[in-house]
Chains A and B, each alone.
Chain A
Amino acid sequence: MSDTATVPALQEHVHGPLKHQFDDIAQQHEADTLGMWLFLATEVMFFGGMFTGYSIYRSQYHEAFAAASNHLDLLMGTINTGVLIGSSLTMAMAVHAAALGRRRALIICLIATMVLGCGFLGIKAYEYHHKFVENLVPGPNFHFEGNSARETEVFYSFYFAMTGLHAIHMIIGVGILAVLTFYAWWRGFHPQNKHIEITGLYWHFVDIVWIFLFPLLYLVGHHEK
C-alpha cells in the first residue's frame, strides 16, 4: 500500500474515506488490520477451549476415539479439505484483484469463493445427514454397536460441536462475501480494498481451523488399521 500513500484520491479508493477519529489514512489502515488480527486471536482461544477438551479425551479414550473416527466419511472429509483450500486460493486471488483494481476479476473470485464455501457446507450437511440416519448424533437416540458406546458418544459430541462451530463461521463468512459481492457488482462501485483484505484474513483463519479439525477428527483412527 505504501506506493499509493501519496495520492489522496487513490487512497480513498483503496481504504475508503478517512473517518473522523483518525488523523490520516495510514493510521486508519493500521487500526483496521490490528483490529482484525486481535479478533482472530480471540477466535483462536475460542476454538482452543474445545481443542483442549478434545485432546484430553483423545488421550483418555485412545482406542474408542480411533474406532469412532473410522466411522467418519474420510472421502467426504478429504474432498471438503480440497474444496476449502481451493476457496482460500480464490479468496487470495480476490484480494489481489482488488489491489489491482480489477473489478470483474474481483467479482468472479468472490463468487467462486462463495460457491466453494457453499459446496463445503453442502457436503458437510450430507455428512451430518448420514450420521443422523446412522443414529450417531449424540442424545437420546444415539446408538452405537460395540462396547465403548459412551466414549464414542463423547467423540461425536466433539465432532458435532467443533465442526458445527466451524460451519457457523463458514456461514458468517459466506454472508460477508455476499455483501461484498453485492457492493462490488450491484452498487456499481468498488468496495474498499481493506474490506476485502480483512475478510480475506477471516476466511483464511476459518480454513486453517479446518486444517486442524480434519486430521484430529478424520485421520486419528487410520494409523490403527
Chain B
Amino acid sequence: MRELFRFFPDSASSISDAVDALYLWLTTVSTIMTLLIFLAIGYFAIRYRRREPGEVPAPVLGSLRLEILWSVIPFLVMLSFFTWGTYLYFHSQTSPKGGMEVFITGKQWMWKIQHPSGPREINELHVPIGVPVNLTLASEDVIHSFYVPAFRIKKDVVPGRLNRVWFQATKPGKYHLFCAEYCGTEHSGMIGWVYAMERHEYEQWLSGGGGEGSMATRGEKLFQQYGCASCHTMETAGRCPSVRGLYGRQVLLRGGEQVTADDSYLRESILNPRAKIVAGFEPIMPTFQGQINEESLLQIIAYIKSLGVEGGEEVEATKK
C-alpha cells in the first residue's frame, strides 16, 4: 500500500506537472479568498456583536468604489485562470506531429486496444515513454470516457464518432486507466492499467505480441471480405472513387464542398455512404451500418491509410 495520505496522483505525462501547477495557483488564490471571507465574518461577528438588546446601529448605504473594486479585481484574477487554463487545454488537445498511433474501442465493460503494428490488448495499454501517443477512441455501445489520472487526460468515447486525444508519458510505471463516464452495471469494473515503459522495453514487448499481422493487414482482409476491393482500388476512376492515396487529401464533394479525408470522414463514408457524396460519382454504395463493428472499422481505416497518404509518403505498415 502507498502512503496513507496524498494530495496529488502520480505525475507521469508531459502536461501533468503543468496541470498541477495551475491547480496549485487556483488552490492558493482560493485559500486566500476563503480565509479573507472567514476572517472578515469572524472579526465582524465578534467586534460588532450585539451588546444590548435595544441597540440599533447607524445604517451604511454601500460604496460604488468598493463594488467596482470587488467585481473587477476578482474578474482579473479569474482571467489569469482562464488564460492559463485555456492555453494548457489547447496544448493538450493539439497532438504534436510524429507521434505513434493507438486505437481504443470502448465496449460495455472493457477497453479493447489495437496497436497499428499488430498487438491487441484488453484493459491494458503499453506505451513507450518520451513519445507522443495519439489515441483514436471509438465506442461500440454507450458513452465511455478514457481517463488516466496520472496523465491528467480524459476524453469521452462517444458512439457514432471518433474522438482523439494524445499524451506523452514521461515516467515509467503502472498507472490506472478508468472509465469516467457512467456506462452501466460494471462501470466501476471498466478499469485497466497503462504501462509506461522505456523505449527498449517497449520494443521488446512489441516484438513479443501480435502474431496475426498488423492492423492494416487485418484491414486489408476485411476490405476483401466485404467486397470493397472490387470497386474501390481501381487505378482509373470507375464507378467509385479510389481509396489509393486518399487519406489526408481534400475531397471535393457534390455541391462543391471540400472535406479532408480523415478517420471520421472514412468512418462516416463506410457506415453512411450517402452523407457525403464525392463529386462525379453516383450514390450507389450500400450502407454498412450494423454490419461492421468499431474494431474492424478502425482496421479498415488503417488499411486505407496504409495505401498512401497525401504527399506520397508511405506509412510504415506498407513497407513491412
Interface residues of A (CB under 8 A from B): 61, 63-64, 147-151
Contacts and interface: CB of A to CB of B under 8 A. Distances in A.
Nearest to A67: B274
Interface stretch (B37-45, B131-139, B195-203, B281-289): B281-289
Nearest to A64: B274
B272 interface: yes
Contacts, number: 19
Contacts of A64: 274
Contacts of A149: 287
Contacts of A148: 272, 274-275
B273 interface: yes
Nearest to B287: A147
Interface string B275-307: 100000001011101000000000000000000
Nearest to A60: B275
Contacts of A151: 272, 274-275
7 A-B pairs with the lowest CB-CB distances in the bound complex, closest first: A148-B274, A147-B274, A147-B283, A150-B289, A147-B287, A147-B273, A64-B274
Nearest to B272: A150
Contacts of B289: 150
Given A151-B274, A151-B275, 17 more contacts: A61-B275, A63-B274, A64-B274, A147-B273, A147-B274, A147-B283, A147-B285, A147-B286, A147-B287, A148-B272, A148-B274, A148-B275, A149-B287, A150-B272, A150-B287, A150-B289, A151-B272
Nearest to B289: A150
B274 to A, nearest CB: 5
Nearest to B271: A150
19 contacts: A61-B275, A63-B274, A64-B274, A147-B273, A147-B274, A147-B283, A147-B285, A147-B286, A147-B287, A148-B272, A148-B274, A148-B275, A149-B287, A150-B272, A150-B287, A150-B289, A151-B272, A151-B274, A151-B275
A149 B273 CA distance: 11
Nearest to B275: A61
A149 B287 CA distance: 10
Interface string B257-282: 00000000000000011110000000
Interface residues of B, number: 9
Contacts of B283: 147
Contacts of B273: 147
Q: Which of the listed residues A61, A149, A150, A151 has the most CB atoms from chain B within 10 Å of its own CB?
A: A150
B118 to A, nearest CB: 34
Contacts of B285: 147
A88 to B, nearest CB: 39
A151 B287 CA distance: 12
A63 B277 CA distance: 10
Contacts of B272: 148, 150-151
A209 to B, nearest CB: 30
A150 B273 CA distance: 11
A151 B285 CA distance: 16
A60 B274 CA distance: 12
A147 B285 CA distance: 8
A147 B286 CA distance: 7
B315 to A, nearest CB: 31
A61 to B, nearest CB: 7
A150 to B, nearest CB: 7
Contacts of B287: 147, 149-150
B32 to A, nearest CB: 41
Contacts of B275: 61, 148, 151
Contacts of A147: 273-274, 283, 285-287
A151 B276 CA distance: 13
A186 B96 CA distance: 80
A134 to B, nearest CB: 20
B273 to A, nearest CB: 7
A120 B152 CA distance: 58
A150 B289 CA distance: 9
A62 B1 CA distance: 57
Contacts of A150: 272, 287, 289
Contacts of B274: 63-64, 147-148, 151
A64 B273 CA distance: 12
A147 B281 CA distance: 15
Q: Which of the listed residues A64, A147, A151 has the most CB atoms from chain B within 10 Å of its own CB?
A: A147
Nearest to B283: A147
Contacts of A63: 274
B62 to A, nearest CB: 32
A148 B283 CA distance: 10
Contacts of B286: 147
